[in-house]
Structure 1
Amino acid sequence: MFIASSSTTVKFHEFPNGNVTHHYQPGSKVEGPIRSISWSKDGAWLALVPSNGFTEVVSVKDQLRLIKTIQDIDQPSCAAFLNGANKLVGLGTRGGQVLVYDVKTRNIKKRFPRTSGLISHVDFTAKDTHCVAGCANGDILLYSNVSNNLSCTFRVPKSKSVTSLKANQTKRNLIMAGSNEGVIVVWDSNVNKAKFTMEAHKAPVTSVAFSPVNSDLVISTGADRQFCFYDIIDNKCIASVQVENNITSVDFSPEGTYFVMGSQNGRVYIYDSRNIQEPVHSFPAHSTAVKHLAFQRCSETSSSSSSMLSESVPTPSSEGSSNRNTSDLFGMFIQVPSNEMIESMKTSGNSMEAGDSFIAALGLDNKTAESLRQDEGVDTPEETKKWFEAVDSPANPSLQEKKGLGDGKHAHSSSTPKFFPASFKNVMSPILNAKPGQTNLAVSEIQAAAKEAVKEELKGTLEEIRADIKFQSTHITYQMRRMLLDLQMAMVREFIKMENFYNAMRDEILAESPRPVESNNYLLEENEQLRKRVEFLEQQIAAMTVSDAQPGQST
């Protein structure tokens, strides 16, 4: 698994050791920091927007190579892959456009209504129902991915800017943003209202992120040299940690166990989310400030965590290497103990007796943890070192098979780290709180407990599905009403246009008539003239008749 970090260039670091596997510079020359990076759904492609130039899509599968330079969209400012499609990427531009581009067919699939300012951030909600765009003027636009219309506009309270924007990847109605004024806010798009607001930092908020395993847990980093965790349900800050340098970016690992932060001095820090006071590892990434950090998305993490993490275990440079990193099945990384570490273990006293964090989370007591260590044969530091040497040996394949690795190349410790112990409160557990005389449970009790757990899980899932269906139905009904109203308005406009056209035609015909009606008495005057002419003609005929008769009489 890779961590992508960007400054003026993009580097791909192995997790957890931080070794640089690939180094990529967009364009022909360095013109400034990279504006945006985003992983595709399967983690094979990375979209990046340089400081000046076209959006580029690179592939990290097998080897680093350029897939596509999107020249169809000018002046891009940010990019984000859709969550449900590997080949579709959303793009924002400095001209206020928000578009969806198909990398495979190389055409623009969708255009959202244009805004007047620069688009600084773009992201997609879970299941890609909406597109969220942050503007330089402080507006946050929520576009419907179904109707392509603007659904709502948000603004960070007491702020005129947007410095960070993130949509929740598990709950599609949650959207979070931060501002230059140090305020962070979480909106519920179902009701178009703020769910959580906090004046978190005394300096600009540089980055925000949702926990992938707990949607109610969020983290923010600021230019005031601290990062904070918040519970958006209780509306409070649950942890605030001071650091030595300004934090510029943050991201969670896919399973939520770790989070990484980039600093202004170019270093990347890896933290265990169960012990956030000190980083478990750090490494230099860039000579300038780290602008963006992003864990590689892995589509197969749910099916096989061990296979994914085994790829991230660094191969030692020589068999005699005394200090090398490895990873276990839960994504936790540890080190094979050196002499200094063994001495520190001796002086730490109760660090091994306290049990590791995973056993404490399960509710196992110290005696059970001790029995597990005895089963593994690592009761003492000396035996611990011998145990790691035995794991490296190919003569012990059964232990490797027990761990599910089977390759015989990398050493893996127990299922949890024993060299970064953390103190956690015991939780209520049927193992810890079992009755003294109860050594095992009946099959019927286990079945009943399993049925109850499945029932509760299905109940929650069905309620969520019901809420989603209700939301979709309401949304579709609203869209249909809106489209019907638009159709009626269009028909009225066409009717008015045709009426104006016919009126103009009638006026034109009347204007071109050879004998226009000059007055209402036109017909009467015409008839009077005709009557007078008839009388005149009759008089002439009578006169001619008289004149013809007189000569005859005279003869």
Structure 2
Amino acid sequence: MEDVMRLVSTGDCVKIWDTVSMATLEQFNPHSSSHPIAQACWSSNNQYLVSASSIGDKLVVSSLKLSPVPVVELAEGKKQTRVCLSSSSQFVVSGGLDHCVHIWDLKTKRLHRSLEDHKEEVTCVSFNANDSHVASGSSSGDLILHSLITNVSSKPFGHGSNQPIHDLRLSMLRRSLLGSVSDSGTVVLWDSNTQKEIHVFESAHKAPGSGLSFSPASELLVVSVGLDKKIVCYDTASKIVVRSIRVDSPLTSVDFTLDGTGLVVGSTQGKIYQYDLRNSSAPTRVTAAHKTSVTSLRFQSVLYVCSQSSKTSSSKVGSSKKSSSKLCVVCPVGGAARDSISREAEGQQTPQSLPVIEKFNNIGRNSLDIFSPISQGVTMMELQQIQTCFLDLHSGSNSFRKTPLGTPVGSSLVGTPLMASAGRYNPLHTTFMTPPPIKEEELTHNASDPKDYCKALVINSFNCNYCVFLYSVIVIWFVGPALSAAMSSTLTQNIAETASQNGAPFTSLQMHFIQNMIHETLEDFRDSCHKDIINLQVEMVRQFCIQLNEIHSLIENYSVNEALVEEVQKLREENQKLRANY
């Protein structure tokens, strides 16, 4: 169960799904079976699940290590129907029929704080990204932000009692962005710092809105669902509706896939619909999940995916090596190079040789740019440039003594990988804003001027530390464990799309081979970079010890000798006495 991507859904019971095959991994109900489960959320390590029922009998923390087992029960009799876990999984915030928002400490298993700011039933609660604030909405139409640092609540804001709040979310990419959906079908974007409206999408739904979700990959995209059977996608920058998808049943809940390219939505008929927002408006899969309405949907935590991808990658690499020795596929390298948000903000352009997607200023209803994940910003050509740059550090003549990265002694490490593709767009230079190369000064021992020697040591140490930082960030950003699987899948799709446009489409066997080959290359490259970083750190420690010894020797040679000073002073006093007497 730990090796698959999981999704939890609630309704007549709690179900955990394998998101690839949509097979049921676990099914249980820690609450009263006569009432449906209202909401459930994952812990940060995805080993626990917190759930609340629609009747508010209690909050239950269930362990998922082996089989689902209730381990902690809280808020018995307090009628808590909504629940959310902090990112550290220490605190649980809940709300419900008692008009209060409660914060529970899972370490002590006690109530940490109660907030009595609402006048009616609390319908939704949520932590912000850094757990400094709690946002809550109620059936009275009020939204309240409570600071856990200052213990001060904001004044209620919203649109009044005619618009009860059904769901709210805080963006993980834009920390101050708060979204809410109400009974009138209106979706509102708020600035959580000032509690003022950014934009109101009036009558986005013709019936009560029921769910809202921000994209984890694009700060521009937010999606809402409602009982009018519609999925509505909004652009938060242009403040327009990008796409509206019609479903065959009223919808109750929504959540994004972790790469931001897809959606899962739940309906009142107990079905779960899966959508790929990049391809079409038709669902890729429909699953009969519950006998009652689907009340909530949540994918597992992102941190869990990052840690697990490194475990599963080794087995995939082994299988890809076997397949690559038997098959040989010649295919064109293609795919659109999509600019990242940071590159657009800086106004930098890609070369004409690479296909460019227009900036997302005047997006139309049929545009697909907003639905593309961030990982698609690295094309096959750019990936080859990155790999070539780092492989250059390993290559070269063996007649030179080299550092652990393979660069001959005396050459500057800083700027070497960044200037390897001069005259073309380099994603590393754009992303990290690399300064011009710093030339290393030769460490020649000058006995007449020890200050210059010490200055050279400091400059050399700065260059070495800068290289380690830059090299580590590049490896983590481009070829980290969490990106290898997503990047290989994305590149394979780009290659397949280009091939289908130019000729016959690839078979599933050919696409599987290409994906395994890319995955194998990324994993080998990441392992070699990891070894280089370890060797570089060892070399840094050795060089630091050498510099420390040199500095100590300089201090001993050129520092003031106290014994000589005392002896000179005594000689001066004796000389004065001799002059006075004789």
| TM-score bin, normalised by smaller chain | 0.5 to 0.7
**CA displacement at 1:231 relative to structure 2:** 0.4
Q: Distance in 2 between matches of 1:157 and 1:245?
A: 29
Q: How does 1:365-380 map to 2 (within 5 A)?
A: none
Q: Which residue of 2 aligns with 1:225?
A: 229
1:244 is aligned to 2:221 = no
Question: Following the alignment from structure 2 to structure 1, what is the Cα–Cα distance between the partners of residues 284 and 16?
Answer: 19
Alignment of 1:117-266 (within 5 A): 117-156=120-159, 159-199=162-202, 200-266=204-270
Aligned counterpart, 1:17: 21
- Shift of residue 13, structure 1, vs aligned partner: 0.8
Deviations along 1:348-368, one digit per CA (max 9) or x if unpaired, are xxxx99989x8345799xxx9
Match of 2:345 in 1: none
- Which residue in 2 is equivalent to 1:359? 335
Aligned partners of 1:361 and 1:424 also within 8 Å: no
How far 1:447 sits from its partner (Å)? 10
Aligned residue type for 2:335: I
Alignment partner of 1:111 out of 110, 114, 129: 114
Q: Select the residue among 55, 62, 87 that pairs with 2:66.
A: 62
**Preserved contact between residue 231 and residue 237 of structure 1 (Cα < 8 Å):** yes
Tell me what 1:472 maps to: none
Instruction: Tell me the CA shift for residue 106 of structure 1.
Output: 0.9
Instruction: Provide the residue aligned with 2:33 in structure 1.
Output: 30
Q: CA deviation at 1:159?
A: 4.0
SS at match of 2:37: coil
Cα distance, 1:428–1:71 mapped onto 2, change above 3 Å? closer
Secondary structure at the aligned position of 1:453 is classed as helix
Structure-2 change in CA distance of 1:221 and 1:309 (3 Å): farther
Could you say what secondary structure the match of 1:151 adopts?
A: coil
Equivalent residue in structure 2 for 1:40, among 36, 39, 43? 43
Q: What CA RMSD, in Å, does the superposition of the two structures yield over aligned residues? A: 4.0
The residue type equivalent to 2:103 in the other structure is V
- 1 CA distance for matches of 2:91 and 2:379? 47
Deviations 1:266-297 (A, max 9, x none): 11111123124122222110122211111111
Q: Does 1:452 align with 2:455?
A: no
Equivalent AA in structure 2 for residue 359 of structure 1? G
SS at match of 1:206: strand
How far, CA to CA, are the matches of 2:313 and 2:240 in structure 1? 34
> TM-score, normalised on structure 2?
0.55
- 2: CA distance between counterparts of 1:197 and 1:361? 33
Instruction: Show the counterpart of 2:288.
Output: 284
1:124, 1:140 → 2: CA distance? 13
Query: Does structure 2 retain, via aligned residues, the 8 Å contact 1:180–1:204?
Result: yes
Contact 1:229 1:240 in 2 (8 A): yes
Match of 1:86 in 2: 89
2:264–2:274 CA contact under 8 A, matched in 1: yes
Judging changes above 3 Å, is the alpha-carbon distance between structure 1 residues 300 and 447 closer, same or farther for their aligned structure 2 residues?
farther
Distance change >3 Å, CA 73–CA 265, structure 1 → 2 = closer
SS at structure 1 position matched to 2:218: coil
The amino acid across from 1:455 in the alignment is F
Could you list the per-position Cα deviations for residues 403-429 of structure 1 after superposition, in whole angstroms to 9, with x for gaps in the alignment? xxxxxxxxxxxxxxxxxxx99899999
Q: SS where residue 172 of structure 1 aligns?
A: coil
SS of 1:299 mapped into structure 2 = helix
Residue 188 to residue 424, structure 1, CA distance change in 2 (3 Å)? closer
Superposed, 1:510-529 pairs within 5 Å as none
Following superposition, the deviation at residue 61 of structure 1 comes to 2.3
1:56 partner amino acid? V
Mapped contact 1:102–1:109 kept (Cα < 8 A): yes
Give the Å deviation of 1:26. 2.6
> 410, 417, 420: which is aligned to 1:443?
420
Q: How far, CA to CA, are the matches of 1:233 and 1:248 in structure 2?
A: 26
SS in 1 for 2:426: helix
User: Partners in 2 of 1:232 and 1:429 — Cα distance?
Assistant: 24
TM-score by length of 1: 0.58
How many angstroms apart in 1 are the aligned matches of 2:89 and 2:291? Answer: 32
Relative to structure 1, is the Cα distance of residues 120 and 424 closer, same or farther in structure 2, using a 3 angstrom cutoff? closer
Deviation (angstroms), 1:255:
2.4
Give the deviation of 1:50 after TM superposition: 1.2
Change (3 A) 1:86 1:355: farther
* % identity of equivalent residues: 27
CA offsets 1:362-400 (integer angstroms, 9 cap, x no match): 799xxx9xxxxxxxxxxxxxxxxxxxxxxxxxxxxxxxx
The question of whether the paired residues in 2 share the 8 Å contact of 1:162 and 1:179 is answered with yes
**Equivalent residue letter for 1:454:** T
Q: Secondary structure, in 3 states, of the residue corresponding to 2:200?
A: strand
Whether the aligned pair in 2 keeps the contact of 1:165 and 1:176 (CA below 8 Å) is yes
- 1:97 is aligned to 100
Give the gaps of 5 or more residues in structure 1.
Answer: 314-327, 330-351, 369-421, 434-438, 459-555
Where structure 2 has 5 or more consecutive residues not aligned to the other structure, the ranges are 321-328, 340-349, 355-366, 383-387, 390-417, 436-582
| 1:11–1:24 Cα contact (<8 Å) kept | yes
Distance across 1 between alignment mates of 2:379 and 2:29: 55
In the alignment, the residues of structure 2 paired with residue 253 and residue 141 of structure 1 have an alpha-carbon distance, to the nearest angstrom, of 28
Aligned length: 359
C-alpha change, 1:359 and 1:7, in structure 2 (3 Å) is same
Give distance in 1, aligned partners of 2:67 and 2:16.
11
Distance 1:293-1:444 versus aligned 2 partners, 3 A rule: closer
Q: Provide the rounded CA distance (Å) in 2 between the counterparts of 1:255 and 1:223.
A: 26
1:55-87: CA deviation from partner (whole Å, max 9, x where unpaired)? 11112223211121114662212110012x113
AA at the equivalent of 1:151: S
Q: Is 1:295 aligned to residue 271 of structure 2?
A: no
Structure-2 separation of matches of 1:120 and 1:431: 46
C-alpha distance 443-187 of structure 1, shift in aligned 2 (>3 A): same
Note if contact 1:164-1:208 (Cα within 8 Å) is conserved in structure 2: yes
User: How far did residue 10 of structure 1 move?
Assistant: 0.9
State the Cα deviation string for residues 205-261 of structure 1 (Å, max 9, x = none): 111100011122100111111111000111100111111111211101222232211
